């Protein structure tokens, strides 16, 4: 059983809370899928509208663990400051660390990411860094104190699935004992299952559920696919082969021609 900073998860789907048609539908998706971790963020609050307070009350009522993010941050300073604000409000050491470096792909700025991860780890945070599948960067993030790594599957919100399967397999093989969470770019349950079949420890996604015709049903589908993928990995897959091999025994076949 892999652990995420000492926390064991029965359900290995981590679900984002943005872009749902309504708060009620978000709550339904969380309940129906049985997720144990949801991501949340921080944004400017009006002293009169108080929309963030209602959202926070709903999340607390769901009884799930929250993983605050630093979404939208483009520098070490922004990300570190946001992380401190998140720790105070959400009362958790967990932080999903995002430092965006490129607008079209929302690719992480891995240089600033490593620096921010080091600062936050030294300050007692338990950092979940959103990164690429780069081996060297992952090594630096581990050196910085990260105990969980979150490589992207594809650009955030793209729904493309795993764009670099070979790179992700290499990452898994290179760091066999590090909890790895595929984060971002997943569009279908089959892609989430594929992630787990490759040996990843969890999948974090948002848009694929929130933008589905029936988000709660899709959340359940993802949850089941992730469980199936994990079981398949543990069961051990057969080796593919180029030529056919009859599965039904030839021995004992009647001679009828």
Partner 1 sequence: MHITLNGEAIEITAQTLFDALVELGYGDMAVATAVNGRFVPITLRSTTNLKPGDTLEVLAPMQGG
Task: Examine residue 13 and tell whether it contacts partner 1 (CB under 8 A).
Answer: no
**Count of residues that interact with partner 1, criterion CB under 8 A:** 39
Rounded Cα distance, 112 and 226, in Å: 31
Site for partner 1 in 174-233 (CB under 8 A): 206-207
- The strand pairing partners of 7, in sequence order, are 4
Rounded Cα distance, 82 and 93, in Å: 13
Please pick, from the candidates 21, 50, 105, 170, the single residue that binds partner 1 as defined by CB under 8 A.
50
Do 107 and 101 touch, CB atoms closer than 8 A?
yes
Query: Whose CA is closest to 95, among 123, 74, 75?
Result: 123
Largest CA distance in the chain: 86
Task: Examine residue 47 and tell whether it contacts partner 1 (CB under 8 A).
Answer: yes
Query: Whose CA is closest to 205, among 51, 29, 82?
Result: 29
- Compose the 146-165 pattern: x for residues touching partner 1 by CB under 8 A, - for all others: ----------xx--------
Task: Examine residue 20 and tell whether it contacts partner 1 (CB under 8 A).
Answer: yes
Task: Examine residue 42 and tell whether it contacts partner 1 (CB under 8 A).
Answer: yes
Task: Examine residue 84 and tell whether it contacts partner 1 (CB under 8 A).
Answer: yes
Is 169 a known active-site residue?
no
Query: Whose CA is closest to 66, among 17, 12, 138?
Result: 17
Please pick, from the candidates 5, 27, 32, 56, the single residue that binds partner 1 as defined by CB under 8 A.
56
Say which of 96, 169, 230, 253 is annotated catalytic. 96
Rounded Cα distance, 135 and 49, in Å: 45
User: Which residues contact partner 1 (rule: CB under 8 A)?
Assistant: 16-20, 26, 39-48, 50-53, 55-56, 59, 68-69, 71, 77, 81-82, 84-86, 88-90, 156-157, 206-207
Catalytic residues: 96
């Amino acid at each position: 059983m892999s652990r995420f900073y000492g926390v064991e998860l029965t359900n290995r789907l981590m679900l984002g809370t943005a872009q749902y048609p309504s708060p009620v539908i978000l709550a339904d998706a969380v309940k129906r899928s049985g997720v144990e971790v949801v991501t949340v963020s921080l944004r400017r609050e009006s002293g009169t509208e108080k929309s963030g307070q209602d959202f926070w009350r709903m999340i607390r009522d769901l009884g799930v663990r929250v993983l605050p993010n630093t979404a939208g941050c483009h520098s070490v300073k922004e990300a570190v400051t946001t992380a401190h604000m998140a720790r105070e409000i959400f009362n958790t050491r967990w932080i999903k660390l995002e430092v965006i470096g490129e607008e079209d792909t929302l690719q992480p700025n891995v240089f600033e990411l490593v620096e921010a991860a080091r600062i936050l780890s030294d300050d007692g945070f338990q950092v979940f860094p959103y990164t690429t599948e780069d081996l060297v960067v992952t090594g630096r993030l581990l050196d910085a104190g990260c105990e969980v790594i979150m490589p992207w599957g594809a650009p955030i919100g793209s729904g493309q699935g795993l764009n670099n399967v070979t790179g992700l397999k290499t990452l898994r093989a290179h760091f066999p004992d590090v909890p790895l969470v595929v984060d971002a770019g997943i569009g279908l349950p089959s892609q989430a299952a594929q992630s787990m079949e490759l040996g990843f420890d969890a999948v974090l996604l948002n848009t694929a559920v929130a933008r589905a015709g029936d988000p709660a049903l899709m959340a359940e589908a993802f949850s089941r696919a992730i469980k199936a993928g994990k079981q398949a990995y543990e069961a051990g897959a057969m080796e593919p082969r180029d030529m056919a091999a009859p599965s039904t025994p030839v021995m004992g076949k009647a001679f009828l021609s």
